[in-house]
Amino acid sequence: MLSSPSSAASLPESGYVRQAKLLQLVPFSKSTLWRRVTDRTFPPPVKLSPGVTAWRIEDVRRWMAQVDIPLESANAAQAVVGNQATKSAACAGPGVGGLASSPRRLFRSGRPA
């Protein structure tokens, strides 16, 4: 499979890439990926078996060339999105994002933790 998706040289010329690795290559989320597949603005996946869905690397490379997204930029954008999510969860305050006591714990003891 893919050893390091940080550069074009690390991708084989042909083959398949699963969703987890693909999301490291494109500058958007899983939901946006599937919305784009539905809207036909991103290449459709191929069903390799009942539980395995993947994208042709050639199709992904062609799409990236058409929208002018170098792999390095896609990885940088994904890192920025990940950092923003971490920061927003940390700044959300107690009880938000699992950072403080859970509702389950609140109801077990009968008083806030």
Does residue 90 share a domain with residue 43? no
With contact defined as beta carbons under 8 Å apart, do 64 and 22 qualify?
no
Does residue 39 share a domain with residue 22? yes
pLDDT tens-digit map of 33-64: 999 999 999 999 999 999 999 999 999 999 99
Alpha carbon dihedral 55, 34, 80, 83, in 10-degree steps, equals -110
Does residue 53 share a domain with residue 89? no
pLDDT value of position 100: 46
- Domain residues for the domain of 44 are 13-69
Where does the pLDDT of residue 10 fall: very low under 50, low under 70, confident under 90, or very high at 90 and above? low
How many domains are contained in the chain?
A: 2
Flag whether 1 is in a domain: no
Q: Which of 19, 32, 93, 91 is nearest to 60 (CA)?
A: 19
Does residue 61 share a domain with residue 17? yes
Q: What is the pTM of this model?
A: 0.56
Q: Which of 73, 65, 83 is nearest to 25 (CA)?
A: 73
Flag whether 2 is in a domain: no
Flag whether 8 is in a domain: no
Flag whether 85 is in a domain: yes
